[in-house]
Each structure stands twice: as structure tokens, then as C-alpha cells.
Amino acid sequence: MRITDAARIDEYYRALLTRDSQYLGSFVVGVTTTGICCLPTCRARKPRPEHTEFFHTVGDALRAGYRPCKICRPTEGAGTPPPAVRRALEMAVAAHDQRLTDTDLRRAGIGPDAVRRWCKAHLGFTFHGYQRMLRVNAAYRSLALGTSVTDTAFATGYESLSGFRQRFEAMVDAPPSEIGRHEVIRFQRLETPLGPMLACATDRGLCLLEFTDRRMLETQIRTLTTRLGARMLAGEHPFLDRIACELREYFDGTRTTFDVPLDQPGTPFQTAVWGELTRIPYGETRSYAEQASALGRPTAVRPVAAANGRNRIAIVVPCHRVIGSDGSLTGYGGGLARKRWLLEHERRVSSR
């Protein structure tokens, strides 16, 4: 469906000019002079406003006769790895006990430069750094099960004990002999229609789920690791698999509640505020004042709003369902465009 609201079109054009990633999923732009459609973050030269049309989805743009852009590839989803990069990441997971070289990638028909660029842009570290994280993660699990340092080092592909100890301590900030004294948080990057999210889990439950472009993300991670006395490691975890599945169902419109266990360290007041958020029904909204009253603290509107802002588990703990008393969309860490999309999505699903 073509977007016709003038105010919305002006907002989206400004987002297009700044490549604002918070608008991923909110619109697709069609360029009338070229006949292509692009994501809000596309690196291509920006068209003049009179040469643009805005659509809700890629499908709407394709049905209007536009072709997908070869630069931002809107049909593949924002941040989704190209097939060759995805294959390289899968190879790294399958071979976590040995290091894949550029030669190994070329033998598999994969260009190392493309993999390197994508990893740096979307993961924040190199492909070889990703492999090192996987190996250290495997070593951490092995040590936690009681395997000796020597056996763990050689089983995970290290050629010397000194090299293993040095690499392990650099990434975990603790020597291998101290494993078991520290909590570990596993993290993965998840793709969503609104852009990539970072998911983190302990053995108790999901402890963080945030859009990767959220400005407070680093602060949230520091607070979380400090409270838990934990170390962050890339890797797999059953709760990460579970939230990935539940998020897909949520965005598909087949899930309205989440079942994944949560691990939310916070003050007693924050814990109460976050618990009240989970009681707001799917497809409905509450004002900050209503939320404060429900907590038995009707004058604590500002503290409630501040606690909402410190929620580390987006969507699952639905702070996006809290709006201003006048119905305005206020304060959302993932950006107001995403908040609008989430509320509209839930209303559409609820009205079926």
C-alpha cells in the first residue's frame, strides 16, 4: 500500500536523508526516476523528494512495479547476511575447534573480503574475531563441566597451553583456572523486520534484547555485567534459540505472548515496574499515569517512566505499550518509528 499521509511522507524523507536505522521496517522508498525501491538505510545517492514514493512493505513496492535495489537488497531483509556470508558463519560454528583461513573460504567458493566487510559492519568485529569467540565459548563450556585446562586447550584447537591461556584471559577477563567463579552471558545477533537485535541469556533466562542501534545499549550491557558479575561470550544457548523462534512468530502475527524465562536484575522498584509492563494486554496501551496507579504509586509517574527507559528486554517486556496521557508516542529506546510499527502491528493482529 502506498503511503499518502503528507506528514508521514515528510518524516520518512528526513529519515531517508539521514539513513536512520530506527526506521527499518517502517517504510520502503520507491525512486520514480530509476524504478528501484530501497530501505531507509540505503547507501545509494538520495533522490529528490518529488521523485519518491513511500510504501509500507517491500511487497507493496514490488507490486507497484519497482525493482529491488542491488545495494541495500530490500527483499533480503535489513542486515541479513548474503548467502555466501551466511555459509561462512555456519562453517565457523560447525568447525569451532579449528580456525578457518581465507584459503578455506576460497575453496568453498566464498570471497574472504566480502565476509570480512560484512562481519565488521554488522557484528562489530572481524570474521576471525568471531571464530575466536566461538572457540573461547566452547572452551568455557568445557571448563565449566570440569574438563582440565590442558584437555580443553587442545580439544578446542589451540596448539599451546600458553597461547590458550593468553587468548582465554584476554576475552573472558579471567584465567581458565577460575572458571566456575564467574557468571557467563551468551549473546547472539538476531534479524528482525525492524532491524538487527542483540539477544543475551544466562542459564536463568533472557537478560537482554535490544536493537543494536540503541544509544544506551553499551550502558545497558555494562550495567548488566556489573550486576551479575558476568562475562559476555558469543555463542549458542537454548534460551537464545527460544527467543529467536518466539520473535519470528511475534513478527509473523502468530504469537501474542512470550514464554521464554527472563533474568532481569534490578532494584525492587524497577522489578515491579517491569512486571507491570508484562501485564499490559497485547494490542492495548497504558499511560505512564495508569501504570503508576496500577503499581499503587499514582504520584510516581516520572520514576515509572525512568524505570521503563531502563528496561533491557524490548518487545518481550512491552514498554512500547506505554504512551503519553494525551495519546502521543513518547520515549522509546528503539525509536518512535519502531514504537509506532509495533503498536500498529499488534492492533492489526488483534483485530483479525
- For 218, the 3-state DSSP assignment is helix
Q: Please determine, looking at this structure, whether the domain spanning 266-350 carries the CATH number 3.90.1140.10.
A: no
pLDDT at 96: 61
Q: Tell whether the torsion through CA atoms of 67, 250, 91 and 225 is positive or negative.
A: positive
pLDDT at 30: 94
* 234 Cβ neighbours under 8 A, 6+ residues apart: 130, 133, 134, 137, 186, 187, 188
Q: Where in the chain are the domains?
A: 6-76, 79-180, 266-350
End-to-end CA distance of the chain: 18
pLDDT at 79: 61
Number of neighbours of residue 21 by Cβ within 10 angstroms: 21
pLDDT at 161: 74
Reported as type and span, the H/E element at residue 92 is helix 83-94
pLDDT at 85: 85
pLDDT at 145: 65
pLDDT at 323: 93
CA dihedral 134, 137, 138, 140 (to 10 degrees): 160
Q: Please determine, looking at this structure, whether the domain spanning 6-76 carries the CATH number 3.40.10.10.
A: yes
The beta-strand segments (E) located in 48-159 are 52-55, 67-68
- pLDDT per residue as tens digits for the range 91-128: 887 776 677 889 999 999 998 888 888 887 667 678 88
pLDDT at 229: 82
Task: Say yes or no: do domains 6-76 and 79-180 share a fold.
Answer: no
Catalytic residue annotation:
319
| DSSP result, 262-320 | B-----HHHHHHHHHHTTSPTT--EEHHHHHHHTT-TT-HHHHHHHHHT--BTTTS-GG
- CA dist., res. 117 & res. 99, Å (int): 18
pLDDT at 293: 95
Side-chain half-sphere exposure of 54, counting CA atoms within 13 A = 23
* Residue numbers in the chain where pLDDT is lower than 50: none
Q: Distance from CA of residue 47 to its chain's centroid?
A: 29
Could you tell me the CATH superfamily of domain 79-180? Homeodomain-like (1.10.10.60)
Q: Which residue has the cell 559492519?
A: 121
- CA dist., res. 345 & res. 253, Å (int): 8
